[in-house]
Structure formats: structure tokens, C-alpha cells
Amino acid sequence: MPELPEVEAYGRRIKDGALHRTIETVTLGNDTKHVELPGPEDRARFEGHQFTEVRRHGKYLFAGSATGPWMALHMGMAGSVRVYDAEDGNPDYARLIVAFEGSRRMAFRDPRKFGWVKYVDTPETEIEARELGPDALDLDADGFANRLEGGRGAIKSALMDQSRLAGIGNLWADETLYQTGIHPATKIPELSRDDISGLHKASDRILRGVCDVDAHYRELPDAWLIHRREEGYACTRCDGSIARIKVGGRSSYFCPKHQVEAA
């Protein structure tokens, strides 16, 4: 599932190729059954307007302008945004296509149909309606600690709780815990202040690092867990091996030798 860094990369595609261009049409693509997309009236609201800014909050992407309207996008399990020219043809799995004056196009792609696009009045109204916590990259150390305060469950589940902090999902929660040496099932009350401070530093560094390479995983350090998310792979931080367990119903990859579960 695209998380904060991946969605940031999609936002940059819009910024680089689709801002300040007048929208001619917003049309549905192919095989849109069971995909949440704006209806004819909402699609028509965008005609004649321009996207002048792009915002991201957690895993949610917003394109619009100060005077509106705004398009909200959520990638679901495998969605993405592509900006291209008409002569290149629409990409596979294009569920929504924005045609700008000239040949520029923007498509929302979603092979698995878990994502959605909708018209919203402002990003703030959607963020509030979905009860999202602060964006994970907007928190300082104290703010991060405050968002975890009072939690009783597993730290991995808390990191992925979008009402606590928005943007971290399964992939980057595992990476953060791997790099800090904390077992994913560790209960929040078992963590020290230093543990929580370390989690904040690691998550901030990891998320920014992935954003810096536009979420091209091959450009990330070889020692990261992202390159060995499979049982039995050698750990790069000790002589252990990668294992998989379920935490909060989600598969979690970790090294049981240096990420030791509390007794």
C-alpha cells in the first residue's frame, strides 16, 4: 500500500507536470465498477479550473487551488498517479483521467480497485472527516511522544494508527522498528523515553530518506529491511535471520535476535 513517501512522490508528479494548466474534462477510465470516483456533477466542477497547488496529509493527496475545487485521492492498496501526454496513450488501469488544455493528461491508476478519488471543498474538511492525526513529518519529538501517550497496545499498531499520526503503514513501520531494534509486538507502556525518542528520529529519517529518492526503493541503503522482507533472509544488523509474525492482523517482518520481545 502506498504510504507517506510514495504519495509524496505522486504529488511531485502533479507539481512537476500538471499545475497551472486549465482542465478541459475529467472523465472515467476503464473498468470503473466498484471504484469510488466522482459522479458527473462533481467531475464537471473541475472544468475550466486549474490545479495551482498540491498538498499531502499522511497517505492522502489533494490537488486544487485557494478558490477551489479540490480533488482528493487515496491510493488504496496499489493506486498511483501518472502525468503524461495524450500521444503516449492512457496507462493501463486508468480509472480517472484529467485532460488539460493541450495534450497534457493526468491519470489515477488502480489495478486492485481499493483506492478512490473524490471532490472535496477543502483538504481540511476531508482530514477532519476522516479523523486523521497529524502528518508524521510534521511532528517534533514531543509531539510524536504525545501521540503515543496513553496507548496500551503494540507499538507497531500504534505507528500505523492513522488517527494517531498519519502516513506510516506496514512497510515503514517495520523499517522503523527494525532500525531501532524494537520488537513490533512491544506494548507502548514497555517503551522508555529513549525508545520513543529513537522511534521518532528513525521514522523521520526513514520517511524523509524515502521521499528524497521519490520512493525508488533500489536507491535506498542496502542495509535496510525493505530489501529483505522475506523469512530466512540474513539480518544486516546482527547474525540473525528475518522472521514474520502477525501483529494486529498484519504481517510483520523483523529480526528476533536484535528485536527482542519483552519478557
Q: What was the pLDDT predicted at 263?
A: 67
The model's pLDDT over 151-160, given as tens digits with 9 standing for 90+, comes to 999 999 999 9
Q: What is the mean pLDDT of residues 164-187?
A: 98
With bands split at pLDDT 50, 70 and 90, how would you rate the model's confidence at 28? very high
Highest CATH level, class, for 4-129: alpha beta
Residue 128's contacts (CB-CB under 8 Å, 6 or more residues apart) are none
Q: How much is the average pLDDT of 22-28? A: 98
Which pLDDT score, from 0 to 100, does residue 34 have? 86
Distance CA 173, CA 156 (A): 6
Q: Which tens digits make up the pLDDT trace of 103-126? A: 999 999 999 999 999 999 999 999
Task: Give the CA distances from residue 105 to residues 18, 24, 112, in Å, rounded to whole numbers and listed in that order.
Answer: 8, 10, 22
Q: Is the pLDDT of residue 186 over 70?
A: yes
Tell me the CATH number of domain 136-254, given options 1.20.120.430, 3.40.50.720, 1.10.8.50, 1.10.287.3510.
1.10.8.50
Question: Hey, where are the domains in the chain?
Answer: 4-129, 136-254
Cβ neighbours of residue 223 closer than 8 Å, sequence gap 6 or more: 236, 237
Higher pLDDT, 149 or 83: 83
pLDDT at 153: 96
Query: How large is the average pLDDT for residues 228-235?
Result: 97
pLDDT score recorded for residue 67: 87
Which residue do the cell numbers 490537488 mark?
Answer: 63
- What percent of the chain clears pLDDT 90, i.e. is strictly above it? 96
Domain 4-129 matches domain 136-254 at the CATH topology level: no
Of 22-26, 32-36, 53-57, 213-217, the range with the lowest mean pLDDT is 32-36
Please answer whether residues 58 and 135 qualify as being in contact, where contact means their C-beta atoms are separated by less than 8 angstroms.
yes
Q: How far apart are CA 79 and CA 50, in angstroms?
A: 23
Sign of CA dihedral 214, 219, 223, 228: positive
Report pLDDT digits (tens) over 33-44.
889 999 999 999
